[in-house]
Amino acid sequence: MARIVMKFGGTSVANLERIHNVARHVKREVDAGHEVAVVVSAMSGKTNELVDWVHNVPKVAGADSPFYDAREYDAVVASGEQVTSGLLAIALQSMDINARSWQGWQIPIKTDNAHGAARIQEIDGSDIIRRMGEGQVAVVAGFQGIGPDNRISTLGRGGSDTSAVAIAAAVKADRCDIYTDVDGVYTTDPRVEPKARRLKKIAFEEMLEMASLGAKVLQVRSVELAMVHKVRTFVRSSFEDPDAPGMGDLLNPPGTLICDEEEIVEQEVVTGIAYAKDEAQISLRRVADRPGVSAAIFGPLAEAHINVDMIVQNISEDGTRTDMTFTVPSGDVDKALAVLGDNKEQIGYDVVQSESGLVKVSVIGIGMRSHAGVAATAFKALAEKGINIKAITTSEIKISILIDGPYAELAVRTLHSCYGLDKN
């Protein structure tokens, strides 16, 4: 017998037929004698609808600005998961399975006060553990908790993944199964490279890089939590037949296991290629090279909640001036330029330039720690295809390369092939 947390995303619970299919997946684990908790997202498209309602209410009321109270935003958008959890509990009850729905505040999942993007601070899993021990399936509304102001809080888009991993850690689950519309984590996006392979295992650190650098399989915070608490996490497909051979395998079900590096016996040099579109590059020319200039640039950007990624600094020959180049999401360019303009006097630059429509392609692998020449291989392969590199950043287990947008798919396929990821 094991204790399992199962999470199902919006496409997996998009309608009543799919909710019934999810119930069959849950029944399989219950019939095997496992203690089960289930975390669900809102039905596909429902959160977007609720968010639109919140955004449009002030307009309908004739307000001059689209302002709304973030606490009420959370009250509205959290209702999508509440509906799904109740419907799945009813579906399980109709199969003669003892099940009960739970909202975040009932557990409770305690968060900070950042409504709309709250972070989990504490989960008391004792009541759910007791109920699971009595044979009851806990069906938990994901994406939500309760803030210190005693009001519903939400964890940001994709937050149900984080809910599931956090609950798995709180109840000391043997594993956390993330069911989605793909059957695992691939070496790259199969829509770009048809030769992409599904990985049997991937280390937490690699998955964290993949998620933060463009892979949409899991929310970044959920991977962070899994790594900190060492929650063994499987990415699985909810569209597989629940009763297909191997689906009930406790140790090696179909999908990709995200686990500690020590569990991976044969480590590949490169595990995968990720990419992120809609990157923009901003360059500040002839900035005075003095202590505190970096803080003067990036401090105001951070206060404006603008995520800065790749940073490149070039010092002039006489050492008195520097060019500072960095990337931000394309959607934040105008906001970033406005912030820089407001702080021009404190920063002391001559001119600011920007370029949108860029793509960041990243090579990821824990094996890179002990192998030389990985970066050189990438640069050579891209050069042979005539792809110009605009910026480069590296860490122990990844290389990120900024290129022009039209070359994105060619670059992904080229790098996937040059590291042998298209071979079984």
Is 47 part of any known ligand binding site? yes
Q: Is 81 annotated as a binding residue?
A: yes
Residue 186 annotated as part of some ligand binding site:
yes
pLDDT (0 to 100) of residue 256: 95
* pLDDT tens-place string over residues 357-415: 999 999 999 988 888 889 999 999 999 999 999 999 888 899 999 999 999 999 999 99
What is the SS3 assignment for the chain?
A: CCEEEEEECHHHHCCHHHHHHHHHHHHHHHHCCCEEEEEECCCCCHHHHHHHHHHHHHHHCCCCCCCCCHHHHHHHHCHHHHHHHHHHHHHHHCCCCCEEEECHHHCCEEECCCCCCCCEEEECCHHHHHHHHCCCEEEEECCEEECCCCCEEECCCCHHHHHHHHHHHHCCCCEEEEEECCCCCECCCCCCCCCCCECCEEEHHHHHHHHHCCCCCCCHHHHHHHHHHCCCEEEEECCCCCCCCCCCCCCCCCCEEEECHHHCCCCCCCCEEEEEEEEEEEEEEEEECCCCHHHHHHHHHHHCCCCCCCEEEEECCCCCEEEEEEEEEHHHHHHHHHHHHHCHHHHCCCEEEEEEEEEEEEEECHHHHHCCCHHHHHHHHHHHCCCCCCEEEEECCEEEEEEEHHHHHHHHHHHHHHCCCCCC
Return the pLDDT at 424.
66
Q: What angle do CA 300, 304, 310 make, to 5 degrees?
A: 75
Q: Determine if residue 385 is labeled as part of a ligand binding site.
A: no
216 marked as part of a ligand binding site: yes
Report whether 181 belongs to an annotated binding site.
Answer: yes
Q: Which pLDDT does position 62 carry in this prediction?
A: 79
pLDDT at 289: 82
8 carries a ligand binding annotation: yes
Average pLDDT of adjacent 10-residue blocks, the chain of 424 residues: 95 96 97 97 95 88 78 96 98 98 96 93 95 96 96 92 96 95 92 93 93 82 94 94 90 91 83 92 89 91 90 78 90 93 90 93 90 91 95 91 95 95 81
> Would the annotation count 260 as a binding residue?
no
The response to whether 7 counts as a known ligand-binding position is yes
- Residues making up the chain, counted from first to last: 424
Q: Which domains does the chain have, with CATH numbers?
A: 3-261 (3.40.1160.10), 272-419 (3.30.2130.10)
User: Which amino acid, 28?
Assistant: R
* pLDDT tens digit sequence for 95-125: 999 999 999 999 999 999 999 999 999 999 9
